[in-house]
Amino acid sequence: MTCPLVYSPECRRYDFGGGHPLNSRRLELATDLLRELGLLERHGVVPPRVASDEELGWVHSAEYVAAVRALSERPDHPLLSRLYGFGPGDNPPFRGMHEAAATIVGGALVAAEGIASGAFLHAFHISGGLHHAQRAQASGFCVYNDVAVACEFFRRRGWRVLYVDADAHHGDGTQALFYDTDEVLTLSLHETGRYLFPGTGEPEELGEGRGYGFSVNVPLLPLTDDASWVECFECVVPPVARAFRPDVVVTQHGCDTHRRDPLTDLGCTVYTAEYFARRMHELSHELCDGRWLATGGGGYDIWLTVPRAWTLVYGVVSHQDVPDEVPDTWRQRWRPLAPVDLPRRMREDPSSDAPPVVRAQNLETADRVTRRVLEILGGRA
C-alpha cells in the first residue's frame, strides 16, 4: 500500500488574494522542498477531485453551498457578500471560490477513499485542514470543512473516527459538526480562546446527547513550548485514543503553534510538528491497522516554518527519513523572493523555555481533562 501526498497545483486556487494571511505560496514552497529532497518519488502525488454538492451536503447546508456558488460568480453580490460569514477581513469572497474550496474537500475525499479501499495505508492532504467552517458559515479562512467531510465519509461506513487537531486555533467547526455523536471523537490541543480566535475550546465543551464526552479540548497558555506541548499530548491523547478504540485516525497538522507564527502566541518549534506526526503514526498502527489521514492546516510563517514542518510531517506519513540539512538548491531557488534568510537546518532543537507557571497550569488542565473524559467513556463502555 502506498502513502501518497494528495496535491495538485489546482489546490493553490484557494487563495483570498494579496495581503491575506492565508498565502497559497506556502503550498508551493512545501511541495517544492519535498520534491527537492526526493520524498515524492517513492509513493507519488495523487491529485484531488472536485467534491460534489451532495458530498458537501454531508456537513454543509444546501443554502450555504448555493450561496458560495453565487459568490463565486459575483463576489460583490449586494445581498450575500456579508452573509454566511463572508466579507472584508478573514473571508473575502473571490471569483471561483466554490470550485477552489470544493477541490480542497475533494482532496480529503480522495485520501479517505484510498484509505477505505486499502489502496493507501496513510495519506497526507497537504492543502486540507480547513477546520473552522461551520454548517452554514465560513469562518477563519475556511469556506468548506474538508476534514469534517472526510470524518463523515468514514462515519457513513460505520467506522469510529478519532480526529486530533494540533492547530494553534481551536478546531471549532469540526467539533460543532460532530458535537452530538459518539461515532466521531474530536480532540483539539490549541492556544486558549481567552486570547485567540475563535474564542472557544474550553475543557467544559464535552459534547451533548450521545456525543457527551466525545469532544475533548486542551487549551494551552501563551508561550507554551515544545516540552509543555508534548507533556500535555502524552497526558491526554494516547489514553483517550485507547479508550475510544477508533477504526481510523484523521489528524490536522496546523503548524501555527510555532513561535515565529505571526497570528498566534505559542512557543513551539518544528519539533512539535514532527513529534505529533510520529506519535499519531504510532497510535494509528496500534489502534486501527495504520489507517491514518493527515491534513495540513494553519501556518502563516510561510518561508521559515511551513515548508519544513510539512516536509517533516510527510516524512513520517510516508515512512521516509528526512535529512537534517535544507537543500541549498531549494534555498537558492527561493532566495530572490524570500524576505528573510531561508533556513539551513530542517529541524530545530526542542524549546523548553516556557515560564514554570505555564507548564504547571497546562499540565493541570490536561490531567483534569483526561480524568473527566476517561470517566465518561468508561461509563459508556
> Side chain identity at 379, as an amino acid letter?
G
Q: Is the Cα dihedral 95, 303, 335, 345 positive or negative?
A: negative
CA distances for 242 relative to 102, 158, 236, 274, 351, angstroms: 33, 18, 10, 21, 28
Task: Show Cβ contacts of residue 117 under 8 Å, excluding neighbours closer than 6 positions.
Answer: none
Lookup result for grid cell 470543512: 145
What is the C-alpha to C-alpha distance for residues 174 and 317, in angstroms, rounded to an integer? Answer: 22
Q: Can you say how many angstroms the Cα of residue 377 is from the centroid of all Cα atoms in its chain?
A: 25
What is the C-alpha to C-alpha distance for residues 8 and 128, in angstroms, rounded to an integer? Answer: 12
Which set of grid coordinates corresponds to residue 304?
521559515
What is the C-alpha to C-alpha distance for residues 13 and 60, in angstroms, rounded to an integer? Answer: 21
What is the C-alpha to C-alpha distance for residues 372 and 351, in angstroms, rounded to an integer? Answer: 29
Q: Is the Cα dihedral 342, 348, 266, 214 positive or negative?
A: positive
Active site residue 122: no
Please identify which of the residues 132, 190, 253, 258 carries the catalytic annotation: 132
Question: Active-site residue numbers?
Answer: 132
